[in-house]
């Protein structure tokens, strides 16, 4: 797990003296360093899954590190284009691509798509013909495994992401002359920390994917393995072994005999660079248990309610007090607003701040910010030793209509 560097901690402490509401801070120096490490290789082409964190400065840091961009909506596309990134460097994934969205993407110059249904293939062909252009298409495949793995992206259960091999095998690629079917896309697991388990899952995919490409008479040049690389959210977990991932990807590429492997990373790319700072409103004892009531909860950081997995939390200031177990509660009128059980100094009181780490991915934009009309958290960046406010806190009177 990333440890907060001394200058970033000092910058955060200074910010907490000025701020009264929860806020996010992204350490872009740390992010740039991490991205350089993972992109300094020629085994897998890396795209950034913008859904993980669409902040402009984050996108720019990914751009400078040589990543291209996976977008899943018109909003994400426009955010990427407004950073000066060429539409040719954009990949569009996602199960809900309307005819209107496809038209808009082509008008804005996007040429690479992951198709997730037979309708999407037909609509992409119609749009490509209208625009007199050729599109590069990967077909998203949903495979089933006997060992019944489950997680939010589906694992072995039925999801709307792509189609089974038998459904894809019903189409004839020559019916779509404006589409260059370059390969297949598969991604069914999330937040994996075990490189050997991933390697084994990837190996099991080769035979069914190659078999499908043969049934389709597709020249399989590209395989896209999506995202799914995890970061540790608890101190017991260790980071995924990136070198081991590269070794298994190299083996996978050789075994599948493809020219290119792609991945579009979200969590593993940006998750560790983000911090969420949250003031304590009060400490109380309830049925003998220690509770901390916080200014922000799942309205700013939803993931614990969806996955049951808390973000790591520490007291920002130094304390010599012994640590005791606390449950952390946000301000919403639902017991779901629970940021987990944490061992914290017994003297954590009002006027203190908690520091949540590993919050760079699936943080603010994945949350439910309007519930109970609280202030939306500010977003700050730390870059080259400087702190910059990217968005000031937004009060309810500014956003309510």
Give the interface with ligand PLP as residue ranges (CB under 6 A): 49, 51-52, 70, 93, 187, 190, 226-229, 264-268
User: Quick one: 23 or 187, whose CB is closer to ligand PLP?
Assistant: 187
User: Quick one: 49 or 315, whose CB is closer to ligand PLP?
Assistant: 49
CB 219 within 8 A of CB 154: no
Q: Which of 305, 234, 226 is nearest to 269 (CA)?
A: 226
- CA 270-379-297 angle, to 5 degrees, is 85
Closest distance of CB 230 from ligand PLP, Å: 7
Closest distance of CB 51 from ligand PLP, Å: 6
Of all residues in the shown chain, the one whose CB is closest to ligand PLP is 227
Tell me whether strands 274-286 and 353-356 are parallel, antiparallel or unpaired. antiparallel
Contacts 24+ apart (CB under 8 A), 210-219: 210/256, 210/257, 211/165, 212/141, 212/165, 212/168, 212/169, 212/184, 213/184, 215/165, 215/169, 216/139, 216/168, 216/169, 216/171, 216/173, 216/181, 217/173, 218/173, 218/181, 218/183, 218/184
Closest distance of CB 331 from ligand PLP, Å: 28
CB 220 within 8 A of CB 209: yes
Closest distance of CB 44 from ligand PLP, Å: 13
The HSE-up count of residue 312 (CA atoms within 13 Å, CB side) is 20
Active site residues: 333
Q: What is the DSSP letter of 312?
A: P
User: Quick one: 69 or 268, whose CB is closer to ligand PLP?
Assistant: 268
Q: How far is CA 64 from CA 85, 101, 135, 228, 390, in A?
A: 11, 28, 26, 23, 19
User: Quick one: 27 or 70, whose CB is closer to ligand PLP?
Assistant: 70
User: Quick one: 187 or 380, whose CB is closer to ligand PLP?
Assistant: 187
The HSE-up count of residue 351 (CA atoms within 13 Å, CB side) is 1
User: Quick one: 8 or 115, whose CB is closer to ligand PLP?
Assistant: 115
Radius of gyration of the chain (CA): 23
Closest distance of CB 365 from ligand PLP, Å: 12
Closest distance of CB 342 from ligand PLP, Å: 24
Q: Which of 63, 94, 91, 66 is nearest to 77 (CA)?
A: 91
Closest distance of CB 39 from ligand PLP, Å: 14
CB 190 within 8 A of CB 266: no
User: Quick one: 228 or 330, whose CB is closer to ligand PLP?
Assistant: 228
């Amino acid at each position: 797990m990333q440890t907060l560097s001394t200058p970033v901690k000092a910058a955060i402490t200074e910010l907490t003296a000025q701020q009264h509401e929860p806020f996010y801070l992204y350490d872009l120096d740390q992010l740039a360093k991490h991205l350089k490490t993972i992109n300094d290789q020629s085994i897998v082409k890396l795209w950034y899954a913008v859904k993980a964190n669409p902040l402009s400065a984050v996108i720019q840091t990914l751009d400078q590190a040589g990543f291209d961009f996976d977008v899943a909506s018109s909003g994400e596309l426009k955010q990427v284009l407004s950073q000066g990134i060429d539409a040719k460097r954009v990949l569009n994934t996602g199960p809900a691509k309307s005819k209107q969205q496809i038209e808009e993407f082509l008008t804005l110059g996007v040429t690479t798509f992951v198709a997730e249904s037979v309708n999407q293939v037909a609509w992409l062909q119609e749009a490509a013909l209208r625009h007199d252009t050729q599109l590069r298409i990967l077909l998203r495949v949903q495979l089933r495994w006997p060992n019944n793995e489950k997680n939010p992206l589906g694992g072995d259960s039925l999801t709307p992401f792509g189609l089974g091999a038998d459904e894809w095998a019903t189409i004839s690629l020559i019916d779509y002359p404006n589409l260059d079917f370059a390969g297949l896309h598969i991604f069914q697991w999330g937040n994996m920390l075990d490189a050997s388990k991933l390697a084994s899952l990837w190996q099991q995919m080769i035979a069914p994917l190659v078999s499908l490409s043969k049934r389709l008479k597709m020249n399989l040049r590209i395989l896209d393995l999506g995202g799914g690389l995890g970061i540790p959210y608890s101190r017991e977990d260790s980071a995924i072994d990136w070198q081991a991932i590269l070794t298994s990807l190299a083996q996978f590429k050789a075994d599948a005999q493809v020219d290119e492997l792609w991945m579009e990373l979200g969590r593993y790319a940006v998750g560790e660079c983000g911090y969420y700072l949250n003031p304590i409103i009060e400490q109380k004892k309830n049925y003998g248990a220690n509770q901390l009531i916080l200014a922000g909860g799942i309205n700013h950081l939803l993931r614990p309610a969806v996955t049951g997995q808390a973000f790591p939390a520490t007291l920002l200031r130094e304390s010599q007090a012994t640590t005791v177990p606390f449950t952390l509660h946000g301000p919403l009128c639902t017991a779901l607003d629970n940021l987990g059980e944490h061992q914290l100094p017994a003297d954590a009181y009002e006027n203190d701040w908690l520091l949540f780490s590993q919050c760079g991915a699936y943080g603010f934009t994945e949350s439910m910010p309007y519930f109970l009309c609280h202030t939306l958290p500010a977003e700050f960046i730390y870059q080259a030793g400087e702190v910059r406010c990217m968005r000031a806190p937004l009060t309810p009177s500014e956003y309510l209509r």
